[in-house]
């Protein structure tokens, strides 16, 4: 029984006069990893940022169409952006922990809601750090600065921070492109584990990474969703010539 | 990740292998022992083998597409792919033998060709050894299998000449003698395929190709 | 020697000599101040009231007055300036209002300080009826400091990496929470540095307080915000221009100048130390 966690319908986006996303209809399956691949400038990062309305921060952005999370359209006029963003977490390309302690970083999303007592914060922080495979490395120094961690650890910290909100969907924007191969491998395995509890949407310019960890892949080109299929099928017998060209390295 | 996938492929191959082994020994035994419904049994096994062959085919392709294996992993997967093919053909041979056996049920003609019994033993040994060697990645055992092929070829030649003589002596039994010839041919093919498997195992283990007997170069 | 090398040497020497000239000027300035004013300095000079028609005694009331004026000015301009800067960097709507504000700030920043003095006199002293007092002077100085604080705070906020803002918003924080919990704490050290430098500037201004707060002589220390005060820079000016006994008063003026100079140097030094310790500890 296919369960779609979040879905775009006829999504179009303009940055000023630039038509950046064209009629995108993308279903994201629950508890699966969906990868978005495509050459630079194809719109995959822009599309990702639609899912938690981060594009709202860019001036002169216009969106038509809708994105439904569960039952609600997140672009409805009445929709509350902060609630959406706590349900749809994001991890960025460059690890960006706050210049605060490890504890305060992970607890941030909960503290701003203001309704969690101290002991519950502690529990959630531990739960999130364990889920991000970082607990053992930092459990003795939760009060030390997050900036002292290595790049790979910082990125896992950012994942823990996003997980603290217990989001339904986790958006990953090229999360390993700034990391060394070992950290990359660790985070890839982490994704495979995390998908049991959260739906994952990952943008990657590394096709092999999409092959390794994703269940479904969306190929984007010039703002269009060219092909969307099970990764296994797309990587062996792609339906569209453009997909095949990209996968075999003809461009991008 | 990829190690799990490879393990899965290997296990699938081994289950296919044990099915094929069973098919071959069942059908050969049918020559000497009357078994009920031999052909049907063998055919039902063959269905299952064909299913696995398709599944394994797809899984190997997918694994290569999704995980870009290198070096040892790559050789392993390619060899699983090849051996998969060989196993399916082995299954076919077993079916052929079973079909011939159908025509020879109850007929003692096979006792006139004692070399066939020897060939049967040798071939079965080669098959079992090649599959075990693959499972344990045993280069030495694989080489032994390759060497044993000559012996089986020799037996095949002797059986051929023997049958030619028998045929001339008793033309009324032609059909039966031809079936026996066919069985011998099938056994020889089984030996060949076992040799293939052994060669593939050696490539997988050490990366050396010894096909077409070019090892001495 | 080829042409490029030659012009490089010429350029470097030119810059070096400019630096030397500047340094020499500064040195002469400091030495002169020191030599003329040092004789007058003593603990009594700092802590006692002026006596005998300003020919003897100390500058204690001027010190107190400068302190009070500066404190009042900062108490008004800091919150006002910081919140304006926050608004400008994070909300900034509607566009026409932003434009007006920026013009206003830039104009204020370039206005000669004597005009602040006249403005202060017209508005605080006369129109609002505060008379020449601590409060008039403090408010005038606050307006003087305002554009500097706004610009400095804005710059400090813009210097905070945008990744922090993105991360905070992506976790479901409102813009206000993002500013209060992430951006301001990160910008605070730089904001503080700017504030400290403003203090130095405000303490040394003469023209704004001339008509609004300062008096040449007051018998006692200011008792309330409505009182007029003495102030260091004004004291110097008054002694040099309106003094009746230049023989004894000129050295006092130099002494006062030296005190003011030292004060400014101390404050600038503190700001520099804080800024460099921030730079060292900065983790991003």
Q: How many CB atoms lie within 10 A of CB C205?
A: 24
Judged by CB atoms closer than 8 Å, whether chains meet at A99 and C284 is answered as yes
The predicted structure's pLDDT at residue B212: 65
| Residue A82 with chain C: CB contacts under 8 Å | 172-174
CA distance B80 to chain A (A): 18
Supply angle C-alpha A131, A132, A138, rounded to 5: 105
- List domains and CATH numbers for chain A: 4-98+169-247 (3.40.50.300)
Taking the Cβ of residue C184 and every Cβ of chain A, the question of whether any pair is shorter than 8 Å is answered with no
- Give the Cα separation of C264 and C284 in Å (integer): 31
- List domains and CATH numbers for chain B: 2-213 (1.20.58.220)
Q: For an interface test with B, which of A204, A206, A212, A238 has the most B Cβ atoms less than 10 Å from its Cβ?
A: A212
* Neighbouring subunits of B (3+ Cβ pairs under 8 A): A
| Residue B68 with chain A: CB contacts under 8 Å | 208, 211
* Of residues A85, A99, A111, nearest to C170 (C-beta): A85
- Give the Cα separation of A35 and A208 in Å (integer): 11
pTM for the full predicted model? 0.81
Q: Quick one: residue C174, left, alpha or beta (phi over 0 = left, psi -120 to 50 = alpha)?
A: beta
Reading the block at residue A80, the tokens are: 């509350």
Taking the Cβ of residue A161 and every Cβ of chain C, the question of whether any pair is shorter than 8 Å is answered with yes
- Give the Cα separation of C187 and B79 in Å (integer): 62
* Of residues A189, A212, A236, nearest to B67 (C-beta): A212
Judged by CB atoms closer than 8 Å, whether chains meet at B1 and A208 is answered as no
Reading the block at residue B201, the tokens are: 């195992």
- Give the Cα separation of B62 and A173 in Å (integer): 26
* Of residues A208, A232, A236, nearest to B68 (C-beta): A208
Judged by CB atoms closer than 8 Å, whether chains meet at C167 and A85 is answered as no
The predicted structure's pLDDT at residue B76: 87
Q: What is the DSSP string of B112-157?
A: G-HHHHHHHHHHHHHHHHHHHHHHHT-HHHHHHHHHHHHHHHHHHH
- Give the Cα separation of B207 and B212 in Å (integer): 16
Task: Report which of A117, A123, A118, A119 is spatially closest to residue A164, judged by C-alpha positions.
Answer: A123
pLDDT tens digits in sequence order for chain B, 217 residues long: 788 899 999 999 999 999 999 999 888 888 887 777 888 889 999 999 999 999 999 999 999 999 988 878 888 899 999 999 999 999 999 999 999 888 887 677 777 788 888 888 899 999 999 999 988 888 899 999 999 999 999 999 999 999 899 889 988 888 888 888 899 999 999 999 999 999 988 888 877 777 665 444 4
pLDDT digits (tens, 9 = 90+) for A186-202: 999 999 999 999 999 99
Chain A: residues touching B (Cβ < 8 Å): 188-189, 192, 208, 211-213, 231-232, 235-236
Is the distance from CB of C146 to CB of C80 less than 8 angstroms? yes
Q: Packing angle between helix C184-203 and helix C246-281, nearest 10 degrees?
A: 170
Confidence of residue A27 (pLDDT cuts 50, 70, 90): very high
Q: How many CB atoms lie within 10 A of CB B40?
A: 10
Residue C116 CA neighbour count, 13 Å, CB half: 27
Judged by CB atoms closer than 8 Å, whether chains meet at B65 and A192 is answered as no
Judged by CB atoms closer than 8 Å, whether chains meet at A99 and C283 is answered as yes
pLDDT digits (tens, 9 = 90+) for A103-148: 999 999 999 999 899 999 999 999 999 999 999 999 999 999 999 9
Asked if C touches A (at least 3 Cβ pairs < 8 angstroms), the answer reads yes
Write the CA distances from A12 to A223, A229, A240, B24, integer angstroms.
9, 21, 22, 62
- Give the Cα separation of A28 and A25 in Å (integer): 10
| Residue A231 with chain B: CB contacts under 8 Å | 66
- Give the Cα separation of C40 and C56 in Å (integer): 10
Work out whether strand A72-73 and strand A61-69 pair parallel, antiparallel, or are unpaired.
antiparallel
Q: How many CB atoms lie within 10 A of CB B44?
A: 12
Confidence of residue A11 (pLDDT cuts 50, 70, 90): very high
Taking the Cβ of residue C281 and every Cβ of chain A, the question of whether any pair is shorter than 8 Å is answered with no
- Give the Cα separation of A171 and A131 in Å (integer): 16
Judged by CB atoms closer than 8 Å, whether chains meet at C171 and A85 is answered as yes
Q: Which helix (H) or strand (E) holds B16?
A: helix B2-32
Judged by CB atoms closer than 8 Å, whether chains meet at B67 and A211 is answered as yes
Q: Which residue numbers in chain C have pLDDT < 70? A: 1, 54, 283-284
Max CA separation in chain A (angstroms): 56
| Residue C181 with chain A: CB contacts under 8 Å | 108, 111-112
Write the CA distances from C31 to C26, C45, C163, integer angstroms.
9, 20, 49
With tokens 């010839």, the residue in question is: B181
Report cis status (omega within 30 of 0) of the bond before A176.
no
Rounded mean pLDDT of A227-240? 93
Find the closest chain B residue to A210 by CA distance: B66
The predicted structure's pLDDT at residue B217: 41
Chain B: residues touching A (Cβ < 8 Å): 1, 61-62, 65-68
- List domains and CATH numbers for chain C: 57-281 (1.10.3720.10)
**Residue A164: pLDDT above 70?**
yes
Q: For an interface test with A, which of B3, B60, B65 has the most A Cβ atoms less than 10 Å from its Cβ?
A: B65
**Residue A252: pLDDT above 70?**
no
CA distance B67 to chain A (A): 6
Taking the Cβ of residue C169 and every Cβ of chain A, the question of whether any pair is shorter than 8 Å is answered with yes
- Give the Cα separation of A86 and B68 in Å (integer): 37
Residue A164's contacts (CB-CB under 8 Å, 6 or more residues apart) are: A106, A107, A108, A109, A110, A124, A125, A127, A128
Is the distance from CB of B5 to CB of B67 less than 8 angstroms? yes
Supply angle C-alpha C59, C63, C67, rounded to 5: 170
Taking the Cβ of residue A214 and every Cβ of chain C, the question of whether any pair is shorter than 8 Å is answered with no
| Residue A148 with chain C: CB contacts under 8 Å | 283
* Strands annotated E in chain C: 50-51, 56-57
| Residue C167 with chain A: CB contacts under 8 Å | 92, 96-98, 158, 161
Give the three-class secondary structure for A173. Answer: strand
Is the distance from CB of A124 to CB of A107 less than 8 angstroms? yes
Judged by CB atoms closer than 8 Å, whether chains meet at C172 and A85 is answered as yes
Give the three-class secondary structure for C84. Answer: helix
Q: How many CB atoms lie within 10 A of CB C151?
A: 17
Taking the Cβ of residue C247 and every Cβ of chain A, the question of whether any pair is shorter than 8 Å is answered with no
If you count them, how many residues does chain C have? 284
CA distance B62 to chain A (A): 6
* Alpha-carbon B88 to chain mean position: 9
| Residue A85 with chain C: CB contacts under 8 Å | 169-172
CB pairs under 8 A between A and B: 22
Q: Quick one: residue B38, left, alpha or beta (phi over 0 = left, psi -120 to 50 = alpha)?
A: alpha
DSSP symbol at A21 = E
| Residue A217 with chain B: CB contacts under 8 Å | none
CA distance C194 to chain A (A): 21
CA distance A120 to chain B (A): 35
Judged by CB atoms closer than 8 Å, whether chains meet at C167 and A89 is answered as no
With tokens 């004789």, the residue in question is: C39
Burial class (CB in 10 A: 0-12, 13-18, 19+), B202: buried
Q: Which helix (H) or strand (E) holds A65?
A: strand A61-69
- pLDDT over 70 percentage in chain A: 99
- Give the Cα separation of A199 and A191 in Å (integer): 10
CA distance A208 to chain B (A): 7
Judged by CB atoms closer than 8 Å, whether chains meet at A235 and B67 is answered as no
Judged by CB atoms closer than 8 Å, whether chains meet at A232 and B65 is answered as yes
- Give the Cα separation of A35 and A55 in Å (integer): 20
* Of residues A189, A192, A236, nearest to B65 (C-beta): A236
The predicted structure's pLDDT at residue C180: 93
Taking the Cβ of residue C188 and every Cβ of chain A, the question of whether any pair is shorter than 8 Å is answered with no
**What's phi and psi for A29, nearest 5 deg?**
-80, 140
CA distance A221 to chain C (A): 26
Is the distance from CB of A100 to CB of A154 less than 8 angstroms? no
Find the closest chain A residue to B2 by CA distance: A212
Q: Which helix (H) or strand (E) holds C231?
A: none
Find the closest chain A residue to C163 by CA distance: A96
| Residue A162 with chain C: CB contacts under 8 Å | 170-171
The predicted structure's pLDDT at residue B41: 87
CA distance A48 to chain C (A): 12
Reading the block at residue A236, the tokens are: 């062996």
């Amino acid at each position: 029984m296919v369960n779609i966690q979040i879905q775009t319908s006829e999504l179009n986006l303009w940055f000023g006069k630039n038509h950046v996303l064209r009629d995108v209809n993308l279903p994201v399956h629950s508890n699966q990893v969906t990868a978005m691949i495509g050459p630079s400038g194809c719109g995959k990062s822009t599309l990702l940022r639609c899912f938690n309305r981060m594009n709202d921060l860019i001036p002169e952005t216009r969106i038509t169409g809708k994105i439904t999370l569960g039952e609600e359209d997140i672009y409805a006029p009445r929709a509350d952006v902060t609630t959406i963003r706590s349900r749809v977490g994001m991890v960025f390309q460059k690890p960006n922990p706050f210049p605060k302690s490890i504890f305060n970083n992970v607890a941030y999303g909960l503290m701003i809601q203001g309704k969690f007592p101290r002991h519950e914060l502690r529990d959630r922080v531990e739960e999130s750090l364990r889920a991000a495979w970082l607990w053992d490395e930092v459990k003795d120094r939760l009060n030390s600065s997050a900036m002292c961690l290595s790049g790979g650890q910082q990125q896992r910290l950012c994942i823990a921070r996003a997980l603290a909100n217990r989001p339904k969907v986790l958006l990953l924007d090229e999360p390993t492109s700034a990391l060394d191969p070992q950290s990359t491998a660790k985070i890839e395995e982490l994704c495979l584990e995390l998908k049991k509890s959260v739906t994952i949407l990952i943008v990657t310019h590394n096709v092999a990474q999409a092959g390794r960890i994703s269940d479904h892949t969306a190929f984007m080109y010039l703002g269009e969703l060219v092909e969307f299929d099970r990764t296994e099928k797309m990587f062996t017998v792609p339906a569209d010539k453009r997909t095949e060209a990209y996968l075999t390295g003809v461009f991008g | 990740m990829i190690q799990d996938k490879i393990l899965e492929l290997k296990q699938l191959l081994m289950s296919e292998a044990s099915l094929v082994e069973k098919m071959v020994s069942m059908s050969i035994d049918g020559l000497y022992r009357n078994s009920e419904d031999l052909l049907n049994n063998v055919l039902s096994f063959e269905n299952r083998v064909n299913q696995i062959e398709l599944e394994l085919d797809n899984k190997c392709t997918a694994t290569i597409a999704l995980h870009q294996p290198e070096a040892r992993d790559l050789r392993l997967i390619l060899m699983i792919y090849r051996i998969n093919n060989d196993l399916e053909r082995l299954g076919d041979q077993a079916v052929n033998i079973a079909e011939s056996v159908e025509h020879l049920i109850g007929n003692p003609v096979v006792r006139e060709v004692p070399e066939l019994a020897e060939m049967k033993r040798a071939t079965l040994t080669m098959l079992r050894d090649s599959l075990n060697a693959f499972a344990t990645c045993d280069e030495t055992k694989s080489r032994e299998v390759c060497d044993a092929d000559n012996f089986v070829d020799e037996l095949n030649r002797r059986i051929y000449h023997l049958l030619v003589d028998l045929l001339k002596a008793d033309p009324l039994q032609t059909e039966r003698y031809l079936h026996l010839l066919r069985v011998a041919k099938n056994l020889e093919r089984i030996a060949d395929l076992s040799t293939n498997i052994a060669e593939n195992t050696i490539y997988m283990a050490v990366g050396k190709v010894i096909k077409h007997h070019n090892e001495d170069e | 020697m080829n042409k490029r090398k030659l012009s490089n040497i010429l350029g470097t020497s030119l810059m070096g000599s400019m630096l030397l000239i500047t340094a020499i000027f500064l040195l002469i300035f400091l030495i002169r101040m020191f030599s003329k004013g040092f004789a007058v300095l003593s603990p009594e000079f700092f802590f006692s009231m002026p006596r005998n028609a300003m020919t003897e005694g100390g500058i204690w009331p001027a010190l107190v007055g400068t302190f009070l004026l500066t404190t009042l000015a900062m108490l008004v301009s800091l919150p006002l300036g910081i919140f304006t800067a926050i608004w400008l960097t994070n909300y900034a709507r509607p566009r026409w209002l932003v434009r007006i504000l920026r013009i206003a700030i830039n104009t204020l920043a370039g206005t000669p300080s004597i005009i602040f003095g006249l403005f202060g006199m017209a508005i605080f002293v006369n129109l609002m009826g505060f008379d020449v007092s601590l409060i008039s002077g403090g408010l005038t100085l606050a307006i003087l400091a305002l554009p500097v604080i706004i610009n400095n705070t804005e710059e400090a906020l813009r210097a905070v990496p945008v990744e922090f803002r993105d991360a905070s918003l992506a976790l479901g924080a409102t813009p206000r929470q993002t500013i209060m919990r992430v951006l301001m704490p990160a910008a605070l050290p730089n904001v503080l540095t700017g504030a400290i430098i403003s203090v130095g500037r405000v303490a040394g201004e003469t023209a704004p307080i001339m008509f609004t707060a300062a008096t040449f002589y007051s018998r006692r220390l200011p008792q309330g915000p409505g009182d007029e005060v003495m102030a260091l820079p004004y004291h110097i000016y008054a002694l040099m221009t309106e003094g009746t006994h230049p023989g004894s008063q000129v050295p006092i003026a130099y002494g006062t100048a030296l005190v003011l100079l030292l004060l400014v140097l101390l404050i600038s030094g503190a700001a520099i130390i804080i800024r460099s310790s921030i730079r060292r500890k900065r983790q991003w």
